[in-house]
Each structure stands twice: as C-alpha cells, then as structure tokens.
Structure 1
Amino acid sequence: MPTSSYNDDLGLAHLLADSAAQIGTSRFRASDLRVSSKPDMTEVSDADTTIEEVLRSTLARARPRDGIFGEEYGDNPGASGRKWVIDPIDATRNYVRGVPIWATLIALFDRGEPVVGVVSAPALHRRWWAMKGAGAFAGRDQRAGKRIQVSKVAKLADASVSISSITGWTKLDRQGAMLGLLHEAWRERGFGDFYSYCLLAEGALDIAAEPEVALWDLAPLALIVEEAGGTFTDLRGRPGPDGGTALATNGLLHEQALERLKIRET
C-alpha cells in the first residue's frame, strides 16, 4: 500500500489527538480528578478512561472496520487488517501528580506494521508524528510541524542516555548492565516514558531504554524514532514496539548499547 494512502489516517490521528488534548487538559490538576488502581496496581484516572472512550467512539464512526487496541478497554479485532493502538494518557503517574510530562499516544498498524503515529503532549504544547516512509515531524500542531532527525553521536562516551528509572531493571537482572552503560555515557537523565523517545527522535538524546513496557506504551514511538533515522528494537535485538522491552538509539550507537544491555536467549 503506498504511503500516500495513509494521509487521511494521519489527519484522523491528529483529530483524535485534538480531542484527547481537550479532555486531558481540562482534567489536568483538577481538584476532583478521580484516581484508582487497576489489578496490576498501576494507576488510572477518569481522564484516561474518558479519553479512550471518546477516541473509540470517533474511530467506530470514522473507521468502522478497523480494530482498536487500547490500554483501558482492551482489544476489538476489526475486519480490515488494520488496528488503532491507543494509550489515552502515557505517564499517568506524572499526570495525577501534576507533572506536565504526559501524552496521548495513537498509532495505526496495517497488517501488523506501524504506519502512522502521533504523540500529543498538550501540557508541553508539543506534538510528534510520523507516517511510514514520509519522515518524522514535531511542532505545536500539524500545521506548524518541522522535520526532525536523530543525532550523529557515534561514541558512548559522548552519548546522552535517558531511562524511566533504575529500579525496573532488577526484574531482568540487568540493573548492573544499565548502571555500567550509564557510567560509560557522557550524561544520564530520567525523562522516562514517551518523552525519552521523542527527545531522541529530535536529536536531543542518543539512547533511551525501558525494561518493561506494553505495546500501547511504544506503538507510535517506534515509528517516529525510525522515521527520524534511528533504530528501535527490544532488548533481544528484535525490531518493533511489541517485544515487552525497548531500546531506541540514533542508530550509530545501537549495537554498542545492545551489546551491554542485551537479554540473552537461554
């Protein structure tokens, strides 16, 4: 399918992001925001559920044959071979604490391949997006977007690395490996969640990694990083956003970072 056939889908993804931004912004730092814990003990707010409900309703009208997979309401397979993947609020813990680093993540997969991705961070007045084969862009909105590219840093000693937290790496028995990588690098930061990957796509960071993630956490980010010229795999080196772990780099540093962090097959 030619890239141009996804133009309307990219436009729809931006409209979905607009709707999500209105809801998310209106509930951000609201005194009556309702927050509860899901069975996996992660937090969910009324903004998360409302955003996903609204986006699902819009997609049901605009793309009735497409499937939808969302963090809050699960999987509706659809009949078209296409699927929209939604994270209504990525970084919910930031959101509920009043930290402005949160975003709505929207991606379209066509026969298993991500072809459209939009990340909308309204509290930062920033949006990132990509379409397969058409490059990656960032700006306040689609009309004000500028093309973005990853950095050209080629040595770990010159690299800036971002992770969500160090504690999660203990589950993979890779905490020591990550600490070793951070010591080798020029600079380490904990921007976390979507923001690490978006900054990497802009060339502001060189390596981003997470030890435990779901598809909805990464669905548009892998495409944005790759369309910006970077490389996106899991910690076993397999490309794509569905491996349960993540390693994104500017491409030049990928093999070096993967060698230090790789989960070995047993």
Structure 2
Amino acid sequence: MSLRTGYDDDLRLAHVIADQVDSLTMSRFKALDLRVETKPDLTPVSDADRTAEELVRSQLARARPRDAVHGEELPDTGHGPRRWVVDPIDGTKNFVRGVPVWATLIALLDGDQVVVGLVSAPALGRRWWAAQGSGAWTGRSLAAATRIQVSQVDRLEDASFSYSSLTGWEERDRLPHVLDLMRRVWRTRAYGDFWSYVLVAEGAVDVAAEPELSLHDMAALVPIVTEAGGRFTSVRGVPGPFGGSALATNGRLHDDALALLDPLPGVHL
C-alpha cells in the first residue's frame, strides 16, 4: 500500500510497536507459567496484558514523548490533543484459555478524531489498519497489504449480525432490543471482541454490536470500519468510540439497526 496522509509516520510507528508486542504476547500465549488475576470489575488480566502495555508505553515515550497515552491497565500519562489509546490484549478471556482470537489494539486520537487504528492478531497471523483518508487494509505488513471494504448488503433480512454475549445485553436491560434485531437478520454469530468489527470492515459480517465498551476497546476499530466504507456509533447513535457501546455496520444497514436498538431522542435516522 502507499500512504498518502498526514499520519503516515504514526501508522508506521504503530506497526513497529505492534511487531514488538506480537513477539511478547505470542511468547506468553499458552505459556504454562502465565499468571492470571481478577481485576476489580471481575474481568481477568494476565501478566502478558500488563507487560505488553508497558512495552507500548515505553516505545511511545521514546518516539512520541509529547503525546498523551491512555491504556487499559495503567494510568493515563501526558496531556495535549494527540492521545494514543492502547488495549494490550483485546480478548483476554480467549488468551488465557488458549483461543487464538485476541489482538493488540493501538489507536491515535487527534482531538476528538481517531486518525490511526491498528489491530494485530498474531495467533491468527492477521493484522488490520487504517489511517484517516488512506482506506482500510489487512495483511502481515505495510508492504504486503490488501485493501478491504464493507459489504453491499442493504436489507437486514439478508444481513449477518455478530455480537459478544447475550448476558451483557440482559444486564443492561437492553435484551429485548437486541433480540428484535436478531429476529430480523438472516444470520447471527457471536464472533466477539475485535473480531466482529474487522469482519464488518472486510465485508464478511454486516452488523456488529456490543452494549458496553470502553474507549480502549473501540478506538482502533473506528477508522478501520469507517475507512472501509462503514459506520461506527454507539448503540444509541453517538458517533465514534465515545458513547460507551458499539454499533458498526456497512453503513447501508446502520439506521435500520439503530432504530431497533433504541436510539437516543434526536438521533437522526
């Protein structure tokens, strides 16, 4: 691929960092001495999560010392309009059980815009990335990349919908809404985590949604979906990764899906 944006160097840096993190996380994947703890929110965290985030932060401190950093495991650092957002291992439950569907997520925000996003899933041998204005891509490296695009499906009745779990929707009193959507679509599968959203960007899935997510879960996914021609909001219509939940579609189906998921008053459909 050829880069043509003002964030070329940042995207290249994200790839370099991801290469180093992939080596670390793969060395701990299925390791017999992997240490797993439970965080206050009752979700698991492994020694690989923390070490991977420390590695990303150390590389950013050297290469982008003026930029702020927000991560899942460690306190925020720095101030200013440019902020890197890191999820060292998205899919930790898969990671600790030996399921290969997990990834490192690296994003760059410039103000309130996510301008770079990279998802690296080394156990799958896959990587996805996008920079503002340069399209969305997949491949093993910048030099070996294929451009990706969302599907052209334009009816929910023909759509494939991916989610993570029904219990999350039930816990937030939104189960009836997602069941309405599930009844309308052609196919449902719980691919979960980052996997649902990169499949939307590739055109293999048409709609993906989760009822509660944090900024670090979503930031890297937003430009990959939107640069592939899709749309990314919260399940109530808040644009980007700032609404506390996620609805990603090929764009053509977004309004119909949003209408079933109970949009906020005043959201344009």
TM-score of the alignment, normalized to the shorter chain, above 0.5? yes
- Normalized against structure 1, the TM-score is what? 0.96
User: Deviation per CA, 1:81-100, whole angstroms, max 9, x where unpaired?
Assistant: 20100000000000000000
Q: 2:237·2:264 contact (CA, 8 Å) conserved in 1? A: no
Q: Which residue of 1 is the match for residue 101 of structure 2?
A: 101
User: Deviation per CA, 1:51-96, whole angstroms, max 9, x where unpaired?
Assistant: 00011001001000000000000311334x2010000000000000
- CA-based RMSD: 1.4
Deviates more, 1:179-188 or 1:244-253: 179-188
Deviation, structure 1 residue 150 = 0.1
Q: 1:82·1:112 contact (CA, 8 Å) conserved in 2? A: no
Matched, 1:148 2:148: yes
Determine the C-alpha separation between the residues in 2 that align with 1:214 and 1:226.
Answer: 18
Q: Which amino acid aligns with 1:93?
A: K
Q: Which residue of 2 is the match for residue 180 of structure 1?
A: 180
Q: 1:68·1:83 contact (CA, 8 Å) conserved in 2? A: yes
Deviation, structure 1 residue 265 = 5.1
Q: Which residue of 2 is the match for residue 73 of structure 1?
A: 74
Determine the C-alpha separation between the residues in 2 that align with 1:262 and 1:134.
Answer: 33
Q: 2:17·2:56 contact (CA, 8 Å) conserved in 1? A: yes
Q: Which residue of 2 is the match for residue 46 of structure 1?
A: 47
Deviates more, 1:136-145 or 1:90-99: 136-145
Name whichever structure is richer in helix by fraction. Answer: 1
Q: Which amino acid aligns with 1:177?
A: H
**SS of equivalent to 1:204:** coil
Q: Which runs of 5+ in 2 are unaligned?
A: none
Deviation, structure 1 residue 4 = 2.5
Q: In the TM superposition, what are the counterparts of 1:151-230 in structure 2 within 5 Å?
A: 151-230=151-230
Deviation, structure 1 residue 237 = 0.7
Q: Which residue of 2 is the match for residue 92 of structure 1?
A: 92
Determine the C-alpha separation between the residues in 2 that align with 1:71 and 1:180.
Answer: 32
Determine the C-alpha separation between the residues in 1 that align with 2:34 and 2:142.
Answer: 29
Determine the C-alpha separation between the residues in 1 that align with 2:140 and 2:123.
Answer: 11
Q: Which amino acid aligns with 1:160?
A: S
Matched, 1:36 2:34: no
Determine the C-alpha separation between the residues in 1 that align with 2:156 and 2:12.
Answer: 38
- Tell me the matched-pair count: 264
Deviation, structure 1 residue 16 = 1.0
Determine the C-alpha separation between the residues in 2 that align with 1:34 and 1:142.
Answer: 33
User: Deviation per CA, 1:152-184, whole angstroms, max 9, x where unpaired?
Assistant: 000011000000011100133211121121121
**SS of equivalent to 1:14:** helix
Matched, 1:11 2:16: no
Deviation, structure 1 residue 263 = 4.5
- Normalized against structure 2, the TM-score is what? 0.95
Deviation, structure 1 residue 112 = 2.1
The runs of at least 4 consecutive aligned structure 1 residues that moved more than 3 Å come to 263-266
Q: 2:107·2:117 contact (CA, 8 Å) conserved in 1? A: yes
Q: Which amino acid aligns with 1:235?
A: V
Matched, 1:25 2:26: yes
Q: Which runs of 5+ in 1 are unaligned?
A: none
Determine the C-alpha separation between the residues in 2 that align with 1:261 and 1:28.
Answer: 36
Q: Taking every aligned residue pair, what percent have the same amino acid on both sides? A: 59
Determine the C-alpha separation between the residues in 1 that align with 2:232 and 2:67.
Answer: 26
Deviation, structure 1 residue 142 = 2.0
**SS of equivalent to 1:10:** helix
Q: Which residue of 2 is the match for residue 56 of structure 1?
A: 57
